[in-house]
Amino acid sequence: MATRRIKPFKARFLSLGQQLEALMRDFPGSKGNLSENSRLVWIARVLPSPLSCIYTIQLIYQIGKRPTVQVIDPMLVPRQGEKLPHIFAGKILCLYRARYGEWEPSKHLSMTIVPWASLWLLHYEIWHSTGSWGGSRAEHPARLANR
Amino acid sequence: MHDYFSIGGTREQQLGNVLTLIAADLDIPDYLKAELVRKYNHLGSWIRKDNEDRFRTESEIYPQGSVRLGTAVQPVKADCGYDVDLVYLRRLAKESISQEQLVQQAGDQLRRYIAFRKSEGKEVPELVRRRRCWAMNYSGRFHMDVLPALPDDESTMFTRSVETSILLTDRRLWEWQHSNPKAYADWFRECEILVFTEKRISMARAGNVEVEKIADDAVKTPLRVSVQILKRHRDIRYSGNPDDKPISIIITTLAAAAYRNERELFDALMGIITRMERSIEMIDGKWWIPNPVNPKENFADKWNEFPQRAQRFFDWLAAVRADLESLLKLSGLNNISSSLATSFGSDVVERSMKRFGEEVDASQQRGDLKMAVGSGLLNMSTGTKVVKNTWYGD
């Protein structure tokens, strides 16, 4: 049993090139590049449901850091008198909980972060009309806790 | 069973799904339906025995109208309860009893039934006489209208189902009123027979039961849902002005006659709205909407007495069409919800959108939710599986 757990780190690690290739293949109209400091920047248009708005999202990923997704257009707006739910400072969408291993560097962004971003946007539109977040697996940080 | 929920497809399909959720929310919930059936069956068997013992006559109680058809909608003031029409048929000859006697005897029986229920410690309704019926009001849940009736043995008007023809009383009219709610329900179902049969079979398969086990009114065809949507739109539009609002029997009849067995709700609804007016006739300067099972009965007779009612109908029809067409031009579920709330009421739209979000979430948890590559469109048939995740953050 013990030997099965020892895998070379590299094999479980996707390179930025592999990540970007998969993103561009799934979204042929999107724009992406690997820029300075080995940073992946990918911009795509997403329509979560036939009745939704079309959103332009930007995904940034640097090896060793959390991938982040922001909505560039249209601007996210809160409900009257309420804050946006499930969002980090800088209007970065909260899409997963790292400690549960939902996303790891071995997983394709195109198969995790991107579908979650689309689903986030759908729940966001519904939240505007109901005031409640439709995703059942939601957790809220304790005050001042680390994410 | 959520056979009506789906995400993805065209704009029309998705709008149809949202409208279907709205209609489902306004429909009689299963637990209330079960209570209702229990209540009228209990009343029916008590009264049958009473008629045998005291009058040596046969009798039966059965639902008519929206409850029978599966097109009931919650009233705008939800605490008023659902309107339920029950026919109370006594097998007596017309010559043997007057309208007033029939009504009085029914009232006497209902009072004794209520006393009996009270003696058993059961909840009892308030009983009120109305123009054509006795109303039994179970607070907050049902308004049961019990319509005393006799068989219409002489009926020559009804080309079909003479045996289901009945005579109803009317306080303001001397003549007995001809009616045939069972034949009307049969006619209604014939208008949707293809889709009804298909849907009933697929529901039976999905539930792994025999087709006969699926109750007629449980099959929510696009016609029935369309009628619910149209009635609700009318209720909201005329909530401050109930006297002049287009009556349900007119909406239901015109919709059924206009239905072409479309499978998609939105197609059905737009088709119905486009064709509805074709069954309205003008004969010798008078509006005519014939009862499909009794062509001598004019559902629009009041339009001739109060011409503004015809105008109200046409205004309403134009408004429904404009509202539905404008929905298709909007983007963003939030904007669509606001527009839906204006047409159908904010509470029901909020509940339906919440349900929509919960259904999407449930499909993700089941592993059925996918995202189409290229567009990011969430759906249940093609693309990247949307794996489970945890929404974190405040």
Q: Which chain B residue's Cα is nearest to A88?
A: B393
pLDDT over 50 at B160, yes or no: yes
Q: Which residues lie closer than 8 Å to B44 by C-beta, 6 or more apart?
A: B59, B60, B61, B62
pLDDT digits (tens, 9 = 90+) for B244-283: 899 999 999 999 999 999 999 999 999 999 999 999 999 9
Q: How far apart are CA B52 and CA A43, in angstroms?
A: 79
Give me the helices (H) in chain B, please. Answer: 11-26, 30-55, 66-69, 99-119, 181-191, 193-207, 222-237, 248-258, 265-275, 301-305, 307-329, 333-344, 346-366
Lowest mean per-residue pLDDT among A34-38, B18-22, B135-139, B365-369: A34-38
Q: Indicate whether B20 and B129 sit together in one domain.
A: no
Residue that finishes a domain, picked among B329, B348, B367: B348
pLDDT over 50 at A4, yes or no: yes
Domain count, chain A: 1
Q: Do the beta carbons of residue B324 and residue B333 sit within 8 Å?
A: no
* B375 within a domain of the structure (yes/no): no
Q: Indicate whether B145 and B210 sit together in one domain.
A: no
pLDDT over 90 at B219, yes or no: yes
**Residues of chain B numbered 352-371 and touching chain A (CB < 8 Å):** 353-354, 356-358, 360-362, 364-365, 369, 371
**Residues of chain A numbered 61-80 and touching chain B (CB < 8 Å):** none
> Which member of B356, B369, B391 has the closest CB to residue A137?
B391
Q: Do A130 and B371 lie within an 8 Å CB cutoff?
A: no
| Coil, helix or strand at residue B281 | strand
Residues of the domain holding A26: 2-130
Nearest chain B CA: its distance from A73 CA (Å): 13
Q: Indicate whether B267 and B208 sit together in one domain.
A: yes
Q: Indicate whether B201 and B160 sit together in one domain.
A: no
* A143 within a domain of the structure (yes/no): no
For residue B385, the chain A residues in CB contact (below 8 A) are: 111, 115
pLDDT of residue A1: 45
* A142 within a domain of the structure (yes/no): no
Q: Indicate whether B169 and B192 sit together in one domain.
A: no
Size of interface A-B (CB pairs under 8 A): 176
Q: Do the beta carbons of residue B236 and residue B343 sit within 8 Å?
A: yes
Nearest chain B CA: its distance from A57 CA (Å): 11
pLDDT of residue A7: 53
The per-residue pLDDT of chain B, averaged, comes to 93
- The single residue listed with the structure tokens 């939902």 is A102
Nearest chain B CA: its distance from A144 CA (Å): 11
Interface predicted TM-score of the whole assembly (ipTM), two decimals: 0.89
pLDDT digits (tens, 9 = 90+) for B65-92: 999 999 999 999 888 899 999 999 999 9
Q: Indicate whether B239 and B127 sit together in one domain.
A: no
Does the bond joining A115 to the residue before it have cis omega, within 30 degrees of 0? no
Q: Tell me the pTM.
A: 0.92
* A136 within a domain of the structure (yes/no): no
Q: Do B384 and A87 lie within an 8 Å CB cutoff?
A: no
pLDDT over 50 at A145, yes or no: no
* A145 within a domain of the structure (yes/no): no
Q: Which chain B residue's Cα is nearest to A79?
A: B334
Q: Indicate whether B59 and B140 sit together in one domain.
A: yes
Mean pLDDT to the nearest integer, B125-134: 94
* A144 within a domain of the structure (yes/no): no
Q: How far apart are CA B372 and CA A44, in angstroms?
A: 14
> Which member of B15, B364, B391 has the closest CB to residue A133?
B391
* A45 within a domain of the structure (yes/no): yes
* B223 within a domain of the structure (yes/no): yes
> Which member of A29, A96, A129 has the closest CB to residue B353?
A129
**Residues of chain A numbered 87-146 and touching chain B (CB < 8 Å):** 87-88, 94-97, 100, 102-103, 110-112, 114-120, 122-123, 125-141
* A138 within a domain of the structure (yes/no): no
For residue A95, the chain B residues in CB contact (below 8 A) are: 389, 391
Lowest mean per-residue pLDDT among A137-141, B36-40, B170-174: A137-141
* B310 within a domain of the structure (yes/no): yes
Residue of A147 and B146 predicted with greater confidence: B146
Q: Indicate whether B153 and B297 sit together in one domain.
A: no
pLDDT of residue A38: 86
Mean pLDDT to the nearest integer, B153-176: 77
What percent of chain B clears pLDDT 90, i.e. is strictly above it? 85
Q: How far apart are CA B246 and CA B224, in angstroms?
A: 17
* B385 within a domain of the structure (yes/no): no
* B231 within a domain of the structure (yes/no): yes
Q: Do the beta carbons of residue B58 and residue B52 sit within 8 Å?
A: yes
Query: Quick one: CA dihedral B225, B231, B236, B237, positive or negative?
Result: positive
Residue of B210 and A80 predicted with greater confidence: B210
Q: How far is CA B195 from the centre of its chain?
A: 17
- Check which CATH number belongs to the domain holding B101 and give it: 3.30.460.10
pLDDT over 90 at B320, yes or no: yes
For residue B377, the chain A residues in CB contact (below 8 A) are: 47-50, 118
| Coil, helix or strand at residue A53 | coil
Contact with chain B for residue A42, Cβ under 8 A = no
**Residues of chain B numbered 293-332 and touching chain A (CB < 8 Å):** 330-332
Q: In which region does residue A15 sit, left (phi positive, over 0), alpha (psi from -120 to 50) or beta (all else)?
A: beta
Q: How far apart are CA A60 and CA B105, in angstroms?
A: 80
Q: Do A135 and B334 lie within an 8 Å CB cutoff?
A: no
Q: Indicate whether B207 and B280 sit together in one domain.
A: yes
pLDDT over 70 at B156, yes or no: no
Residues of the domain holding B133: 30-179
Mean pLDDT to the nearest integer, B207-224: 94
Q: Indicate whether B232 and B310 sit together in one domain.
A: yes
Domain count, chain B: 2
Burial B321-349 (b: 16+ CB within 10 A, else e): eebbeebeebbbbbbbbebbbebbbeebb
* B353 within a domain of the structure (yes/no): no
Contact with chain A for residue B99, Cβ under 8 A = no
Nearest chain A CA: its distance from B155 CA (Å): 52
Q: What is the DSSP string of B101-122?
A: HHHHHHHHHHHHHHHHHHHTT-
> Which member of B334, B378, B389 has the closest CB to residue A128?
B334
Contact with chain A for residue B372, Cβ under 8 A = no
Q: Do the beta carbons of residue B153 and residue B97 sit within 8 Å?
A: no
- Check which CATH number belongs to the domain holding A110 and give it: 3.10.110
pLDDT over 90 at B356, yes or no: yes
Binned at pLDDT 50, 70 and 90, residue A11 comes out as low
Residue that finishes a domain, picked among B154, B179, B204: B179
* B325 within a domain of the structure (yes/no): yes
Mean pLDDT to the nearest integer, A25-54: 93
Mean pLDDT to the nearest integer, B23-31: 95
Residue that finishes a domain, picked among B129, B158, B179: B179
